[in-house]
Structures are given as C-alpha cells and as structure tokens.
A and B are shown apart, each in its own frame.
Chain A
C-alpha cells in the first residue's frame, strides 16, 4: 500500500506540470489565461501549425537534434577511451587529472560563456551549430569520463585479462569486450548527454542568434511586448520533450540497469 501511495504522489508531482503544458498547448489564449484554471474547454490545434509552420520554428527542432546528437557522439568518442584509461591504468597525476575533468563542470557555466564567445568569434564559428556542439561537448566530456570510469571499473580486470588470453590485443579487448559489456552504462551516459545538450539554453543562446538557433533559444522569442504567447510556448515545450521521451523509452531497460549498475556478475 505504502508503495502504491508513494507512486501516486510521485506521479502526481511529476505529471501535473507536464499535463498542464499539454493542455495549455491546445487551449485558446482566453482559456489559457483564465484566472481559475479551466478544465473543460474547446480544444484548439492552431498553436502547432502557427508556431512551426507560420513562424518557421521547424528548423529549430532540426538544429536542436543536430547539436544534441553530434555533441553526444563527440563527447563519447573523446570521453569513453579516457574513462577506460582512468579505470584501468596507473600513471603519475592520474587523480589530479581526473579531478581537473570534474572541475570543468564545477565552474558556473556563465563564468566562461564570454571567453568562449570571444574564442568562437575569432574562429569565425558564431551563429553556426558547430559552436554549440563544441561548447556542449566541453562539458559533456567530463560527464562521460566521470560516469564511464565507474562503469569500466565495475567490470572485473580479469575480464580484460581473459580477453587478452583468448587472443585479443589491448585495443581489441577495449572495443570488442569492454564496450559491449559496458553497453548499459554507455546507453545511460549517452542519453544523459543528449538530454543535457537538448535542454541547454545559455550557451546556445549566446553562441547562435539566427540560423543556428536551437529550440530552447526559440522560446524567449515568444515573449512579446504584447504578452507571452502561452499556447505557442506550450506547443514548443511539448515538441521539445518528445525526443527525450523517445530516447528514454528506447533505452529505459539499459538506463535502469545503467543508473543502478552494481557488480558485473560472472
């Protein structure tokens, strides 16, 4: 009973805002702004075509996807081998270097957004998605290194040794044995990277202004001098949650295992 009650409380807590947003996205402006929330109303589906076609927000979805996917892939490409090295090898200054990776996440993001903007200006990369991709990669890499080190460390060293006795090189062991064994962790890490990049606002807002805008950056454009277009904001918000829902469901089995990763048995 207690478990069910807890579940209900949690569900209400987490789903209410989301349902609210979905409802708002199909309410007329009048219903949305009603002083007493309206639960029965004539739904309108005007906001979606209005925002995505008339106001041309569809490319923003595309930009967000590009940024999230590429920054995730880049973070994994750089972070996973580094995590493997942290998990398996000893070298001077190892823990200091590892801590350095973590500190890149400790600084308030806003403190380095200006230097980063100037850097990208010099490189001529502002207002291009690549700028946001690289920016997101810089902080996602540390997340990948931090998480994946744990997942690799959970795989007994004997697995590496068994693979090498079975005939693999060290590289082969990493690619063909350890990566597949760490797949649940890899999936969890990738989804987390994707979500962080997809939701990120500050860097995307500063680094791109027009063509390269991501969805999160598009939303403030709907706060007009004549009031906030709540219906359209909600419509964008609903669409923005879809990829996250999709990816989370796609890897939820791995995500649960990944986030509660214990010892690898066998």
Chain B
C-alpha cells in the first residue's frame, strides 16, 4: 500500500495558505511524522488525508485509488485527536467498541476485539468507567484503543501527546513505538516536538509555511538537514548558525576565522551542532579560542554559551567541566565533518 499526496494545496476562506503544493509518498507500515512549527500546515495535511478538510487543489490517493473526494467514513482511516474526543455519554468499553458497532460487526466479535486491544494498551480495568473519570494518560490510551480496535489502513494522530505531562509523554511515546513495532499499523503522526519526531518516526516530513522542506529518515534529517530551517528546528539546543563569508579557504565572521575546504568564495551561513563542538583543555592545532559568556549545568551535561567578536555559539559538553568564570578563555574545535553550510539567500544546503 502506498499513500500519495499529489500537489496538495489548501487555501482557507480568509486567504491563509495552509498548504502549498505538498507532494509526499509513503508506504504501508511506516510511522510517518508531519513535523513543523505552528502554522506550518502539518495538521491541515493530516486532516486532508482524513477527509475532514477539503483540499483546494491537488489529489490524495491510496494504492492508486483517488480518495480526494471521499467522506471520512469511506477512507478506512482512524484518528486520535489532541483532546482525545471521547464520547462523554458512553463507557470506555462503548467508546472503543463504537467504530465496530457502526460497522455492524457482530456482538461476539466486538467483545473479543475490544478486550484484545484493551489488553494491548493495558486499560482492561477501565472498561466500565466514563471518560470523565479518566486521567489524561488513560483517556489518551482509550482514544488510541478506539483508533486501533478495527484495522484501519492508516491511523492518524494529531498531536496526541501534547496534553500529557512531561513524564507521561515520554512513557506514552515509548509505548506508541512498541505498538507500532508489534502491530505493524501505518501511522501518520502530527507534532511540533522534534524529539517525538526523531524517536517515533520511520520517516519525517518537515513542513514550514505550507511547504515540504525535507522528507527523510530521522538520521538524515539530523545529519544532513536540507535547509537552515530544518537544521535549526531539529536538535536541542538548536544548531549554531554563524553567518559569515568564505574567502581564500577561510570562513570569516567578525573576528572568527576558520580554515575550510571545498567552499566557494562568498557569503555563507555555517552551522554546527552544540553537541559536536569539541572542548579542549588547552589550545590545539585546530582549536579556536572563544570567550565564555554563560555556563549552565544541566546534569549530566554542561551548556557553554561562548562568543568571539560578534559570533556566538552554544556548546554542549556531555560532562561536568567544573567551574569556569565568565569571560574565561575556552578552546573549541569545530570538526570539519560536523560543519554544515547553507546559502544566506534561501537557506538551502550547499553541495
């Protein structure tokens, strides 16, 4: 099975362009993440796939069948909503059973399927309760159970974890990953949280202002961001970007000068991830000295905010570096294979 977004555009009544010619294709069994900041069109893309929103232009097809104009019920997809959208007047059991009831499955089958998915999600003891008696995490599981109790072609999730507290969010994230590995369903998961995206996704579609910026496996999104936007959006703290100029094999930004190879002369934005900068005890051949501005200890790591002239950077060191005074000189190496170069003009990756 494959799902194809073909040149999907969505313009809302007020003129907002939510999606601009989005094209995307993925296969059955994948865990696809739609990632982007608010207003990037990720939720709109998900809702167009669900049939809850009509595309202004373009088409969506599943296995070659055009589903652009089908109502949601004929698309064989289920959805987990951000606020869970459980039916308040029904018990948990009836909430989960509801998609089966609508599809007129016989009673015995419904019962066995509800119990099966309830045991997978470990909510058997909640079946008699009402949604108002559930905690956020429990309600979230019930919503997932309702979405997976039948065998939809695709399970859509619109920021399902964002209403959970931090700890529960981590647990549920792991559980979703296990669920995907065990059941092999196809998931499309909308989030603005890059960490969720990186951990859950088999592939991530990064959207910005209605456009697809990059669609790739998490490793490549991290190591080879297609644009400066992706580079800064993925990773925490965000990738350091220093705008400067290459001339004669040197990258220059204010007083910072680093030798580079293979870069044509001209203005460029150089990026390096905070965790890939190497802190040295003393000066080395490749090191550059920076001035320490602020030091934050976030056990077990240390964040060093450093500057050199107008150029500033964050460095993440995976250990406690002890006490360093403000203004102290620190020696940093920016390994050549960890550097990224982006065009100043449009943010595209060079080479």
Binding site for B on A (CB under 8 A): 90, 156, 158-159, 161-169, 172, 177, 180-181, 183, 264-266
Cα distance A266–B77 when bound, in Å?
A: 21
Q: Tell whether, in the assembled complex, residue A165 and residue B88 are in contact, meaning their CB atoms are under 8 Å apart.
A: no
Cα distance A266–B82 when bound, in Å?
A: 11
Q: Tell whether, in the assembled complex, residue A158 and residue B83 are in contact, meaning their CB atoms are under 8 Å apart.
A: yes
Cα distance A183–B85 when bound, in Å?
A: 17
19 contacts between A and B (CB under 8 A): A156-B85, A158-B82, A158-B83, A159-B85, A161-B81, A163-B87, A164-B71, A165-B73, A165-B77, A166-B73, A167-B73, A168-B102, A177-B87, A180-B89, A181-B87, A265-B131, A265-B132, A266-B86, A266-B132
Cα distance A158–B157 when bound, in Å?
A: 13
Q: Tell whether, in the assembled complex, residue B134 and residue A166 are in contact, meaning their CB atoms are under 8 Å apart.
A: no
Cβ contacts under 8 Å, A161 to chain B? 50, 52, 72, 79, 81, 85
* Interface assignment of B98: CB less than 8 Å from any CB of chain A: yes
Which residues of B in the span 74-105 have a Cβ within 8 Å of any Cβ on A?
A: 77-79, 81-89, 98-99, 102-103
Contact residue among A90, A163, A165 (Cβ-Cβ distance under 8 Å from B50)? A165
Distance between B18 CB and nearest chain A CB, rounded to angstroms: 17
* Interface assignment of B146: CB less than 8 Å from any CB of chain A: yes
Q: Tell whether, in the assembled complex, residue B71 and residue A181 are in contact, meaning their CB atoms are under 8 Å apart.
A: no
Q: Tell whether, in the assembled complex, residue A166 and residue B146 are in contact, meaning their CB atoms are under 8 Å apart.
A: yes
Distance between A106 CB and nearest chain B CB, rounded to angstroms: 31
Contact residue among B72, B82, B131, B134 (Cβ-Cβ distance under 8 Å from A165)? B72
Interface centre among A159, A161, A172, A183 (most CB of B within 10 A): A161
Cβ contacts under 8 Å, A163 to chain B? 87
Cα distance A167–B98 when bound, in Å?
A: 9
Q: Tell whether, in the assembled complex, residue A162 and residue B132 are in contact, meaning their CB atoms are under 8 Å apart.
A: no
Cα distance A169–B71 when bound, in Å?
A: 8
Binding site for A on B (CB under 8 A): 13, 50-52, 71-73, 77-79, 81-89, 98-99, 102-103, 130-132, 134, 139, 146
Q: Tell whether, in the assembled complex, residue B88 and residue A266 are in contact, meaning their CB atoms are under 8 Å apart.
A: yes
Cβ contacts under 8 Å, B87 to chain A? 159, 162-163, 177, 181, 266
Cβ contacts under 8 Å, A177 to chain B? 87
Nearest-neighbor residue (CB-CB) of B77 within chain A: A165
Contact residue among B13, B71, B88, B103 (Cβ-Cβ distance under 8 Å from A265)? B88
3 pairs of A and B residues whose beta carbons are closest in the complex: A266-B131, A158-B85, A167-B102
Distance between B88 CB and nearest chain A CB, rounded to angstroms: 5
Q: Is chain A's binding surface mostly helix, strand, loop or mixed?
A: helix
Q: Tell whether, in the assembled complex, residue B89 and residue A169 are in contact, meaning their CB atoms are under 8 Å apart.
A: no
Distance between A173 CB and nearest chain B CB, rounded to angstroms: 10
Q: Tell whether, in the assembled complex, residue B73 and residue A164 are in contact, meaning their CB atoms are under 8 Å apart.
A: yes
Q: Tell whether, in the assembled complex, residue A165 and residue B102 are in contact, meaning their CB atoms are under 8 Å apart.
A: no
Interface centre among B13, B50, B52 (most CB of A within 10 A): B52
Known: A161-B79, A180-B89. 5 other contacts (CB 8 A): A161-B81, A162-B87, A164-B71, A166-B73, A181-B89
Cβ contacts under 8 Å, A180 to chain B? 89
Cα distance A180–B72 when bound, in Å?
A: 22
Cα distance A180–B134 when bound, in Å?
A: 20
Cα distance A202–B307 when bound, in Å?
A: 84
Distance between A88 CB and nearest chain B CB, rounded to angstroms: 13
Contact residue among B73, B77, B88 (Cβ-Cβ distance under 8 Å from A168)? B73
Q: Tell whether, in the assembled complex, residue B83 and residue A166 are in contact, meaning their CB atoms are under 8 Å apart.
A: no
Nearest-neighbor residue (CB-CB) of B102 within chain A: A167
Contact residue among A166, A169, A181 (Cβ-Cβ distance under 8 Å from B88)? A181
Distance between B321 CB and nearest chain A CB, rounded to angstroms: 48
Cα distance A168–B134 when bound, in Å?
A: 25
Q: Tell whether, in the assembled complex, residue B131 and residue A169 are in contact, meaning their CB atoms are under 8 Å apart.
A: no
Nearest-neighbor residue (CB-CB) of A167 within chain B: B102
Cα distance A266–B141 when bound, in Å?
A: 12
Cα distance A169–B87 when bound, in Å?
A: 16
Q: Tell whether, in the assembled complex, residue A166 and residue B89 are in contact, meaning their CB atoms are under 8 Å apart.
A: no
Nearest-neighbor residue (CB-CB) of A172 within chain B: B102
Q: Tell whether, in the assembled complex, residue B73 and residue A162 are in contact, meaning their CB atoms are under 8 Å apart.
A: no
Cα distance A166–B152 when bound, in Å?
A: 10
Distance between A262 CB and nearest chain B CB, rounded to angstroms: 12
Nearest-neighbor residue (CB-CB) of B47 within chain A: A161
Interface centre among A156, A163, A167 (most CB of B within 10 A): A167
Cα distance A231–B81 when bound, in Å?
A: 63
Q: Tell whether, in the assembled complex, residue A162 and residue B89 are in contact, meaning their CB atoms are under 8 Å apart.
A: no
Distance between B270 CB and nearest chain A CB, rounded to angstroms: 44
Q: Tell whether, in the assembled complex, residue B79 and residue A165 are in contact, meaning their CB atoms are under 8 Å apart.
A: yes
Distance between B79 CB and nearest chain A CB, rounded to angstroms: 5
Q: Tell whether, in the assembled complex, residue B131 and residue A162 are in contact, meaning their CB atoms are under 8 Å apart.
A: no
Instruction: Decide yes or no: A266 and B73 within 8 Å by CB, A158-B83, A167-B99 being known contacts.
Output: no
Cβ contacts under 8 Å, B85 to chain A? 156, 158-159, 161-162, 266
Distance between A177 CB and nearest chain B CB, rounded to angstroms: 6
Cα distance A166–B145 when bound, in Å?
A: 12
